Structure 1
Amino acid sequence: MNNAVRIKGVIPPVSTVFTNEGKLDQKSTGKLIDFLIESQVDGLFFLGTGGEFSQMSVVERKEVAQFAVDYVKGRVPVLIGTGSTSTKEVIELSLHSKKVGADGVVVINPYYWPLSEEHLYQHYAEIAENVDLPILLYNFPGLTGQDLSPDFVLKLVDHYPHVVGIKDTVDTAGHIRELIIKVKGKHPHFSVLCGFDDHLFNTLSLGGDGVISASGNFAPELTVGIYHAFQSNDIKLAVKLHQRLAYIPLMYKLDSPFVNVIKEAMKMRGHDISTYVLPPARPLSEQKKQELKSILENAELL
């Protein structure tokens, strides 16, 4: 992927499937990758929040990145999450991603120290000056405690054209709208993708580019269907699928972190996987599994 190529469409943040001992399950993860590509996704994002990167060592993250690129074999673009609390570690992981052949990296802002805007800018500037892969920003203030404002993003893109997009995981249309108007309006190559499922239709209608959301792991037909319908101007179908997709965010309230919920949903929909999650995440309780089943039934997924 060169810097002129737009990142767009439906890009699932792939769940990392583990064995019951907490090791990467290459066979099951490979089957998931094949399923997603067959479902006509537009790319794959590994080592995001749902990929449980925050609980992995650097060695484990590099193992997943290497496996992902090798297994996908260029069938779709591969993005690797390289965010960390350490600028040095982000650069190390990003350079590794380039070495193994990833198409781009996705960088969430540091999530422990609150940074002044000047220091946050210097963090991203140092990454951009050392990594010449396409870089997607990852804004998830609900977890990091710090928002990447549209003005801040614009300043970065003005100086670093290989900052090519953002995954905006905010539950407000206004933030996404402002990114589209301020950043994309000045830099048309810049991709704005929502991070919450039910903002896809709205993001597309505002002129955004797509979605990077967890439901892609177990119900890609909904987000892929909305994206294709919108591109074909079949608004009636897009709205119908959007109404089904509206149930999905209820899942994320069942437990925290919700990585266990995603894996249970995958299993309920026929994926033969271990639902092991890395501690301190824990297995989903039987009661919550029943609540999850009800949500999937309401979304017409069971």
Structure 2
Amino acid sequence: MSEVKFRGVIPAVITVFNEDGSFDWEGNKRLLDHLIKAGVHGLFILGSSGEFMHMSTTERKKFAEFVVEYVNKRVPVTVGTGSSSTAEVIELTMHAQEIGADAVGIITPYYWILSEEALYNHYASVAQAVDIPIIIYHYPSLTGQNLSASLVARLALDFPNILGIKDTIDNVAHLRELVLTVKSVKPEFAVLAGYEDHILNTLALGGDGIITAITNFAPELTVGLYNSFVAGDLDKSISLYQKIRVLNRIYDVDKPSIAAIKEACRLTGLDIQTYVRKPAVNASREVQRVVLQLLQEAGLECNLTNCSVAKDDIRVVAP
């Protein structure tokens, strides 16, 4: 039986920009080093938290080249190559393969709602054009596309390089069906949760881990939970999950949540700039305040240097 290639905690890595919107290469290096040192099991770049939707194709290629070269095989790198255009996905995926990425993550096409056969043909076209491992990225609340477990199983069976799914869906039944349906025909297929709410039940159901934005600023919690679960220490796993569930509220602090996540990184001590590309906006004072409170409520140590929010400005958010 083949081993699952993708497992554990894989951060959905943010992209660090300068205030003029250009790439902050040194800031990105600090972030990548921080995550690798924390013991993550891989990196997922140019996903939703990485602001791929705010970049040109040229910029996406340039950033992928930078990360693959800088990480230098210290951990596997998955490059987000999704687009609403199949041709562009193939172009970006071929590029990721050429530069030595370990895998690609391909979000379902968005804008038009596609039939199941159209979705199958989209992934089939990409899988046939490359050899690189493919992780399907399922995020129906943003794309409007729902992938059934049976369709995922069909793709996994038909194409040996389709090896996993990031299931960003607030429905544990869908995760359960992926585990039961897809792994029964392809045991090496990785089922990875996309929401931290489901990290524990995904593992308990027989899934393989999580691709998570919270890991950018709290890897000690997510990596610690995974490692303790694998070691059989369920009490520690549950204790860490109690902190993670508080941090899940960060996704509701601002829309989109990218600025709040970057603010959390800065408040927990990462030396990075928090600029987000438009049409998203930088964190307001109120967003900073709520993020700071969530971090402290979860027991994370915060660095208030250059923070415009005073400690006495924090009030409790109703549960």
Q: TM > 0.5 between the two?
A: yes
**Aligned match of 1:62:** 61
* 2:259–2:282 Cα contact (<8 Å) kept: yes
How far is 1:96 from its partner?
Answer: 0.5
Residue 99 of structure 1 is matched in structure 2 by: 98
**Matched ranges for 1:99-118 at <5 A:** 99-118=98-117
Task: Provide the residue aligned with 2:167 in structure 1.
Answer: 168
Residue number in structure 1 paired with 2:274? 275
Q: Which residue of 2 aligns with 1:221?
A: 220
Output aligned runs, 1:191-270, within 5 Å.
191-270=190-269
1:208 Cα deviation from its structure 2 partner: 0.5
CA shift digits 1:156-200 (9 cap, x unpaired): 111012100000001111110110000012211000000011211
- Equivalent positions of 1:181-200 (< 5 A) are 181-200=180-199
- Show the counterpart of 1:298: 297
* 1:4-15 superposed matches below 5 A: 6-15=5-14
Give the CA deviation at 1:24: 1.0
Q: Secondary structure at the match of 1:35?
A: helix
Q: Tell me, which stretches of 5 or more residues in structure 1 are unaligned?
A: none
Residue 269 of structure 1 aligns to which amino acid in structure 2? Answer: T
Residue type matched to 2:298 in 1?
A
- The 2-side partners of 1:253 and 1:7 are apart by 29
* Equivalent residue letter for 1:266: C
How much does 1:4 deviate?
5.8
> Structure 1 residues 231 and 4, CA, compared in 2 at 3 Å: closer, same or farther?
closer
Partner residue of 1:178? 177
- How far off its partner does 1:291 sit? 1.0
CA distance in 1 between partners of 2:240 and 2:123 (Å): 37
Deviations 1:137-166 (A, max 9, x none): 000001001111111101111101210000
CA deviation digits over 1:110-135, x for unaligned, max 9? 11111111111111110111011000
Q: Percent same amino acid at aligned positions? A: 49
1:81 aligns with 2:107: no
The alignment partner of 2:236 has SS state of helix
In the alignment, is the contact (CA less than 8 A) between 2:192 and 2:207 conserved in 1? yes
Q: TM-score, normalised by structure 2?
A: 0.93
One-letter code aligned to 1:21: D
What is the match of residue 27 of structure 1? 26
- Specify the alignment match of 1:45 in structure 2: 44
TM-aligned CA deviation for residue 258 of structure 1: 0.7
SS at match of 1:270: coil
In the alignment, the residues of structure 2 paired with residue 275 and residue 188 of structure 1 have an alpha-carbon distance, to the nearest angstrom, of 40
Tell me the distance in 2 between the aligned counterparts of 1:4 and 1:10. Answer: 17
TM-aligned CA deviation for residue 284 of structure 1: 1.4
1:270-301 CA distances to partner (integer Å, 9 max, x unpaired)? 11111110100001110121111111111111
Amino acid at match of 1:258: S
Conservation of the 8 A alpha-carbon contact between 2:15 and 2:28:
yes
Matching residue's letter, 1:141: P
**Partners of 1:294 and 1:87 in 2: CA distance:** 42
